[in-house]
Structure 1
């Protein structure tokens, strides 16, 4: 075959050749790779580093001719049907052999393609992202990304000198998905996507929206991670966690920011790794009697100061503490100790970093185009377009991903209020009403409902928790009844009211008595968790201890009394790290907790108290089994305004011993204080916050009281109590002689 004949037979036009060479072609697989022309197989390949390029097949070498006007492009006939490789040669005589990525067929199957196009693929991470596979007998990585408005998408990395012309991807019909198989790559490959927008402009290089790994900040490329084949050994936990997380179970959560819980001062002040945390953190939380660890977001994020609440890699556990399998080591270690793990999940917004989701394919793809809907002024972040099916599916699939792939036991959904309302933190004229002219964000509501239906329906025993600060009805009610479908909701109202009360000098508390009782009016309207979270101990708010009024003794006593009030109150419990031993300083994400404070017996006393509160809460059904039911609570006295005393009964199921909680929020010891009790007989003083082991003065009831059938406070029995100053006591009925 003559050169002229070859030129005429080439299966592309000169314009196609130029567009391939200059990275402008929107269908590179129609030109590159093997193509039949008549009965002749032609191979066309692009390698801008080659002076000569040949195809090697069946033990023979077939030189490919350079294409005029298209530097780096070679084409020519290759006999037979054997698989071929490419052999390049530069001007210095150096040679190299490579697989041709364009000789491989598609990877994504028809059903996946259909579901992706429909926006109903529940497990998009199985298809999109970067997967190490063997394809047509060759090992490599399959890359797939959604970019429906792009003219060209290429995967780039060190393996191709970050040259977007070398690995342009194949468009998959109407799905908006682009894919390619890159032979020879594997675990640890660093990559991004180069996207040519619909306007012909090249976007900033983008990290993979469904990537499983990332570089260490400030570098921000995605990294190929093989997340298969971990080999979980937590079957026993997985089988029983549903019972451990239901509304009748004791749930006491230790909220943790992994980067600042503990650090290695002698190793550059580094944070602990996932594997170290699997030992030190898990053992500590188990020893403290908590039932769950809640992690501030660990989805990859670029800025440490966001604490993870501005994630870029929604499918990538942050590399700050180790690779994905080591994160699994942490989860499995927790499960081995009987601890559940909750993950803070952020579907409310995402950062504007150029490598992130913003204007991903040159258009407002994941976000709303209109900043009145698509931009958070408070956080300088984009808002997801929940009404776009593919975007809602991306988020819902992500929720399922963490639960299935990492055995996470539940998701605490951040900033739900910001999603519920279109006018959240906006002035008039700065927001777009819904189709009915109202402020509710119907699309976000539908996304959250679908997320809850999907996760509860697909994964046994999990829970979802809403951080929601408004009075939106039915947050933890079933979707089929019009609710949002969450399992639990943070009780922000209780938190705000009680913290405002406890910060006041005792002499003024009688004027704010209602702040400690008002929460009961709505305590059973939702399945509540009582949170003292990280948000309460940052940005100048001070630590929990620093909030307390009075001298040092009073501060510690106030805090002890308040914690016992909280543990005795209906609702599950959450405490942010460091507050369990009352560190003086507010939380600093750049430093470890003030562990040195535990050398002081007063701090150790608070730690002992929290451990004992958790132990008592778990041991006594009356303190937890009806946390979300009004039948589990009864006031004894809620109007002792002048004395700032509160007393109530916690009831369990039939046959459970009742518990009585009495709090005194003045620095005055109350001796001989007659307290109505629901039953006569022996009441054990199960906990007294003034005990010496907690740093108190050992004022109390000598281990218990004997209640007589002298009615008081509307109760059939009563006993005279000693209520220590700024103290809370918990009494457990032990029966009658």
Structure 2
């Protein structure tokens, strides 16, 4: 074979290879686009520049005040040119002629990687607490050019492209660079793509083409649309104030933003974040609550999930505005002196096709074994808590809300479902841990890691566990083998007390222990007493309709119960609507029934909540020693015959408070009660007061002490107990 023929054969082979690569780029299955596109050395003097631009008619390099035209390769979107090394500097700017328009754009394949190798190492180790700064879409400056970097973890994908508004959702335009050591794909596009919609197009190991939203997206489209949206982190938030401690007054108003109030002037649609700030904040302040708790605000596709099946874990829901409007809403809440908590859902995620499930064609975020990776109650997937990168993902998400928005705390949903491998499963439907037990060791260590990390970054934050079992040490520090939460919802108190209150007063004497049993364990954890959304949906009825008797007795029962709750050890949480005794069950599709406040009995309940919160915050004995048995003493916890409960709340230095609760519709005159000190006692709260809708049975405002033994004390007082009423007395 002659040299000429050999050269011709090489050229033919090279042309064939180039054509195959062009076709591969067209199909979006080119494995390593950066090895082919961009500028590549041929020898010491020459380099070849290649770009693949669908729809382009002509492409030229803008170099040193001259245009270097690239040659279109056959009938493809590939353009290439052999040039001298020193004629083309990187990053390369291209002049692209589409026929009907001409644009200049930086060549995405002429930029170096901007990934932080140390951060990727920590991500793979499961300890990267700020992964959201490295993953997702971010506006950065790379090699002197302002643009947008995209990065995504998809270690088992054969190819990944970023698709969006900016490239006609074409997977052939921006195939990404793969980093095998970390399993991460990234690309820098030299354009500010703010507010552009995007997804990742992935080719699985089985050559299936799938499209996924960005797990680290800071913003997403308004459902039912499913794309991610390029956004920036909000500006630095205000610092978190120390208002979340165990010895402080904490009274929480739980809110579902989509149904607290609707915009009647705009077709009963949602209020915006700004409208919520203008209306919700003064309302909560007027009621006297110290904190607002938001039901999940991470983006979720289905309204009926209330946010508990999130897809965009880093994206504040777009139902009420964008990320900056959400951040401003939080800033205004904080500026008003209120704390704010959010519901956080690390226990499971839905199977929506654009979400985390089978993210790169494999069980990446979830367990592959259905006995560990599928939740039968909710038809959802369970995170693989043993996978290091999943731990970084969840750890970073908790950090994100607290650090980037200044949110005071997270209430972790369904902790029990995370802790137990056999949660809601029958024999044979779950896999034991390495010790043969039912404890989910990965979930336990993850919760400990998250709590230790976020408290380590800022001791003023708070984490709260919705944990419905007797798991020991939920609020015990992690260095003492506890889970490390700040507080735990007292589900036992909630269940027992509501069961008691549902009963006709004539039968309550037989269930007296349902109101006293919580004091057996009240100081074993740092508790919050929750009357949450879960108690007023799914046929359970509203709080007012759980109460027995005629209409007057229903309201009196509820008032007395609220009085008992605010005096009981533990911080307080009340779901919206309960503050004015809404009749209907909560419906996420409509506003609360605000018209009820025009009726005196409902306004009376609202007045009572204000008075309870005011008295509570002004009285350290009611909150200072919530988690300490020294702060509580029964006067008479055994008066089942009369269904009367009486106890003392104490602080270190302030006067004691006596709480007396009469849970029968009978008036008890000359009711004798032992008291600890020879002082006068002043009535500071009476749930039977007419301003709250009560009967107004006359009760003395100041009660003298009698030298008479009673209930183990040397002194007594005598007073009249109104029907279905709670009293607070303070030592004078």
TM-score (norm 1): 0.95
Matched residues in 1 for 2:163 and 2:402: separation?
Answer: 31
Structure 2: any 5+ residue segments left out of the alignment? 1-6
Q: Retained in 1: the 8 A contact 2:416–2:467? A: yes
> Aligned residue for 1:705?
703
> Aligned residue for 1:121?
128
Aligned positions, number:
722
Q: Retained in 1: the 8 A contact 2:127–2:391? A: no
Q: Retained in 2: the 8 A contact 1:21–1:73? A: no
Q: Retained in 1: the 8 A contact 2:137–2:148? A: yes
Q: Retained in 1: the 8 A contact 2:347–2:418? A: yes
Residues 534, 442 of structure 1: CA spacing in aligned structure 2 closer, same or farther, 3 A cutoff? same
Note the C-alpha offset of 1:16.
Answer: 3.4
User: Residue 647 of structure 1 aligns to a residue in which SS?
Assistant: strand
> Aligned residue for 2:26?
21
Matched residues in 1 for 2:382 and 2:434: separation?
Answer: 19
> Aligned residue for 1:732?
730
> Aligned residue for 2:4?
none
Q: Deviations over 1:97-136 (max 9, x none)?
A: 3321111111112322322333322210110011112222
Note the C-alpha offset of 1:700.
Answer: 4.0
Q: Retained in 1: the 8 A contact 2:73–2:80? A: yes
Note the C-alpha offset of 1:176.
Answer: 0.7
Residues 718, 46 of structure 1: CA spacing in aligned structure 2 closer, same or farther, 3 A cutoff? same
Q: Retained in 1: the 8 A contact 2:28–2:161? A: no
Note the C-alpha offset of 1:251.
Answer: 0.6
User: Residue 320 of structure 1 aligns to a residue in which SS?
Assistant: coil
| 2:51 is the counterpart of 1:45 | yes
> Aligned residue for 1:391?
390
| 2:177 is the counterpart of 1:170 | yes
> Aligned residue for 2:41?
36
User: Residue 329 of structure 2 aligns to a residue in which SS?
Assistant: helix
Matched residues in 1 for 2:274 and 2:492: separation?
Answer: 37
Note the C-alpha offset of 1:4.
Answer: 9.8
User: Residue 669 of structure 2 aligns to a residue in which SS?
Assistant: strand
Note the C-alpha offset of 1:504.
Answer: 0.6
Q: Deviations over 1:16-64 (max 9, x none)?
A: 3432232111111010111111121211111121243332322222232
> Aligned residue for 1:160?
167
| 2:191 is the counterpart of 1:184 | yes
Q: Deviations over 1:251-308 (max 9, x none)?
A: 1100000111111112111121111222211111111111110000101111111111
Matched residues in 1 for 2:466 and 2:101: separation?
Answer: 61
Query: Of residues 39, 49, 69 in structure 2, which corresponds to 1:63?
Result: 69
> Aligned residue for 1:682?
680
Residues 59, 545 of structure 1: CA spacing in aligned structure 2 closer, same or farther, 3 A cutoff? same
Note the C-alpha offset of 1:167.
Answer: 0.4
Note the C-alpha offset of 1:219.
Answer: 0.5
Residues 286, 379 of structure 1: CA spacing in aligned structure 2 closer, same or farther, 3 A cutoff? same
Structure 1: any 5+ residue segments left out of the alignment? none
Residues 217, 93 of structure 1: CA spacing in aligned structure 2 closer, same or farther, 3 A cutoff? closer
Query: Of residues 212, 215, 232 in structure 2, which corresponds to 1:209?
Result: 215
Output aligned runs, 1:478-517, within 5 Å. 478-517=477-516
Q: Deviations over 1:210-232 (max 9, x none)?
A: 0000010100100011124x254
Output aligned runs, 1:247-326, within 5 Å. 247-326=246-325
Residues 635, 494 of structure 1: CA spacing in aligned structure 2 closer, same or farther, 3 A cutoff? same
Q: Retained in 1: the 8 A contact 2:22–2:77? A: no
Query: Of residues 74, 79, 98 in structure 2, which corresponds to 1:74?
Result: 79
Output aligned runs, 1:565-576, within 5 Å. 565-576=564-575
User: Residue 471 of structure 2 aligns to a residue in which SS?
Assistant: coil
User: Residue 282 of structure 1 aligns to a residue in which SS?
Assistant: helix
> Aligned residue for 1:600?
599
User: Residue 406 of structure 2 aligns to a residue in which SS?
Assistant: coil
Query: Of residues 656, 662, 665 in structure 1, which corresponds to 2:663?
Result: 665
| 2:111 is the counterpart of 1:104 | yes
Residues 11, 731 of structure 1: CA spacing in aligned structure 2 closer, same or farther, 3 A cutoff? farther
Residues 622, 700 of structure 1: CA spacing in aligned structure 2 closer, same or farther, 3 A cutoff? farther
> Aligned residue for 2:233?
227
Matched residues in 2 for 1:723 and 1:93: separation?
Answer: 86
Residues 94, 347 of structure 1: CA spacing in aligned structure 2 closer, same or farther, 3 A cutoff? closer
Note the C-alpha offset of 1:324.
Answer: 1.3
Query: Of residues 67, 76, 93 in structure 2, which corresponds to 1:85?
Result: 93
Q: Retained in 2: the 8 A contact 1:169–1:180? A: yes
Q: Deviations over 1:298-330 (max 9, x none)?
A: 011111111110111111111111111211222
Note the C-alpha offset of 1:81.
Answer: 2.8
TM-score (norm 2): 0.96
Q: Retained in 2: the 8 A contact 1:55–1:78? A: no
Q: Please, what is the CA RMSD of the aligned residues? A: 1.8
